[in-house]
Copies of this chain bind each other. A is one copy, B any other.
Amino acid sequence: MLEDIRAQPDVLRALAGHADEYEAVAREAASRGITTVRLVAHGSSDNAASFGVYAFGLGRAWTAFRDSISLHVYYGAAVDVSGSCVVALSQSGQTKDVVAYVARTRARGAYTVAVTNDPVSPLARAAEATLPLAAGTERAIAATRTYTAQIAALALLAGGPAYAEGMRELAGLIEAELPRLEQAAEDTAVLLEAAERLFVIGRGTEFATARELSLKLLETCRVGAQPLTATDLVHGPVAAAGERFPVWAIAADDANLPTVTEAVSRAAAAGAPVVVTGPAAAGIAGATRRIPLPPAPLPLLGPALSIVPGQLFARALALARGLDPDAPAGLTKVTLAP
């Protein structure tokens, strides 16, 4: 898992080399007059899809949403999908109901695009266009490098060719920060070693990071980690926060920051230990621990950086608890379940 995390700068550089292919798909979608994107995925890929909502909304002013696979594949709803672009995310390209969704929506007139590590996978064969994830071989079972690649892939597809240079710059930034972040993750794991539950909060582009870190903590540490938007935490679940129910907050330096600041202050008032990461971490009052991050080179690349301390923390916490982060019990790399 640590090797995969450390490989992320190389993954970003490799993906940047495919910018032309991404631009060709974006141009094809635009030439068909598409302004609606249906994102489909499971697990970590679905967490990346949460980010796609913002990437396409901000990058191209398109409406993007995580579509329901059930509605189309299991219930066979008669929804008109022509005029939509489907973006299906799957590292392996094997997830059966994602493949079924793509086959069905393609037959019903959608422009279907697979983003996958495997260009000859069932997903790649089902879709009209395939974009390489270029994440290489992930050795650990818990996805790290493939998630970061999916975030960057969506930024590239939505943000255009300028993002290729931004990704190269980000690669250097992550490399420079890794030693400090590895140490901070270990220190924070000591602080939260006994936590059985954790709220992970973010908002906007960083909600994907909250979802992905929660999943990592569940998979590698068996922590009941709960992703919530900062506003939703304040809306009710903050009642559960406290000494034994800490909070991890991702603070981006953007228009959502006041909602994160408010949520941290409420959680701290409830007695919860609060870890704050992100470019705006330094300015948040009430944090027990801060892991500040430099700003990403381009706004849509923030989540590809802010997940890194979370990945390292999940690994460090697993080790602190005597669990093997490289091989969580009961998991295999490729999920063949429908």
Contacts and interface: CB of A to CB of B under 8 A. Distances in A.
A110 to B, nearest CB: 11
Contacts of A270: 329-330
A36 B67 CA distance: 13
A328 interface: yes
A201 interface: no
Interface residues of A, number: 73
A224 B222 contact: no
A294 interface: no
Nearest to A53: B68
Given A245-B222, A256-B70, A235 B337 contact: yes
Nearest to A335: B235
11 contacts: A42-B232, A54-B71, A58-B77, A69-B231, A70-B204, A74-B203, A74-B259, A75-B204, A219-B236, A219-B239, A224-B245
Interface of A: 35-36, 42-44, 46, 53-54, 57-58, 61-63, 65-71, 74-81, 95, 97, 142, 196-198, 203-204, 207, 215, 218-219, 222-226, 229, 231-232, 234-242, 245, 254-256, 258-259, 262, 266, 270, 328-331, 335, 337-338
Contact of A330 (B43, B44, B204, B239): B239
Chain A interface mostly: mixed
A218 B222 contact: no
Stoichiometry, copies per complex: 2
A74 B330 CA distance: 41
B46 A58 contact: no
Interface centre among A63, A142, A256, by most B CB within 10 Å?
A63
B79 A61 contact: yes
Contacts of A234: 335, 337
Contacts of A240: 218-219, 222-224
B219 A237 contact: yes
Given A219-B239, A224-B245, A71 B53 contact: yes
Contacts of A255: 70, 74-76
A43 B218 contact: no
A262 B241 CA distance: 33
A329 B335 CA distance: 40
B239 A74 contact: no
A102 to B, nearest CB: 16
Contacts of A54: 68, 70-71, 75
A230 to B, nearest CB: 9
A184 B26 CA distance: 54
Given A54-B75, A61-B77, A68-B53, A43 B219 contact: no
B215 A80 contact: no
Contacts of A63: 36, 79-81
